[in-house]
Amino acid sequence: MMHNVNLGPSNLSIAPLIFGGNVFGWTVDEQSSFALLDAFVAAGFNSIDTADVYSSWVPGNTGGESETIIGKWLKQRGKRDDLVIATKLGAHNAGLSAAYMKTAVEASLKRLQTDYIDLYIAHYDDPATPVAETMDAFNALIKEGKVRYIGASNLSAARIKAANQYARENGLEPYISIQPQYNLYDRKPFETEYLPLVEQEHLGVTSYYALASGFLSGKYRTAADLDKSARGNGIKQYLNDRGMRILNALDEVSEMIYAPISQIAIAWQLHKPYITAPIASATSLVQLNDLMAAAQLKLSSEHLALLDDASDTEQ
């Protein structure tokens, strides 16, 4: 049995893995998206992450395709209140001004075919807009019942801290979670900049790129492997000595416990007390089953030490 946990100081109870909706409308069509979401929920998971900008990078797309697919699925399945839906706004320099946020939330609600968003996340910072304006606007949406809780993604720790301080001083709801890039390879930015804030503010952490764009699945080990998927170009940065050291450690643990290395990479995160739930995407039921099994995988202190040492950012 999986153990659900509350996200930070909220009452959003989520299973230990979140489905990343960035693939919907990109490498997964609508029919396949429905099948993946059905299997995910049937296995006991309950949280889906998306953004209003997904998947605008695909030729012919404008953004919102992922939300639209999720919305159709929610409408057909009728299980909205059983799920935790997170979406984001503010990408591509759209900003976090009060006027824009009011427009953005209405567009997301319409695409998602829902009356409320469980977790509304500031996707990127807007330095031109004061944190006071952004937090006031977020809280207006909470008071209107359109948003339950708010979180932050690619904002600096200092900016998040300032926003939450303003919220506390003015009787407003603060950010209750952050969504940072974090995995066995990409450790240093989170552990040095954000972890102290997470502990101080008791923030929930829903990490993205849990498998480093697929690198930690082990199927990309040489430059020749980069043509295996649409994500190949983003994986090239990991093909270095440290990346190979991490894969070797994952291989070693895999031989010890007879589990795929993708499962081990996610399980490593789930053994960290500060990680609430990693976000991971799948484009097939085979991949999804592999990811979901990671939530039940137990690693020993020996396994964790081996992975921690191989991925040490100081080496």
The residues that are catalytic are 54
For residue 98, the tally of other CB atoms under 10 A from its CB is 15
In whole angstroms, give the CA distance from residue 135 to residue 158.
15
Q: Which helix (H) or strand (E) holds 173?
A: none
CA nearest to 282, candidates 231, 246, 223: 231
Residues 6+ apart with CB under 8 A from 264: 250, 253, 254, 257, 294, 297, 299, 303, 307
Q: Using N-to-C axis directions, what is the helix angle for 285-294 and 261-270, rounded to 10°?
A: 40
CA nearest 160: which of 312, 272, 25, 8?
A: 8
Six token digits for residue 85: 């839906």
Radius of gyration from C-alpha coordinates of the chain: 19
Query: Can you tell me the distance from the alpha carbon of 209 to that of 281, in angstroms, rounded to the nearest whole number?
Result: 9
Q: At a CB cut-off of 8 Å and minimum separation 6, what does 224 contact?
A: none
Q: Chain centroid to CA 35: how far?
A: 20
* Strands 13-14 vs 5-6: parallel, antiparallel or unpaired: antiparallel
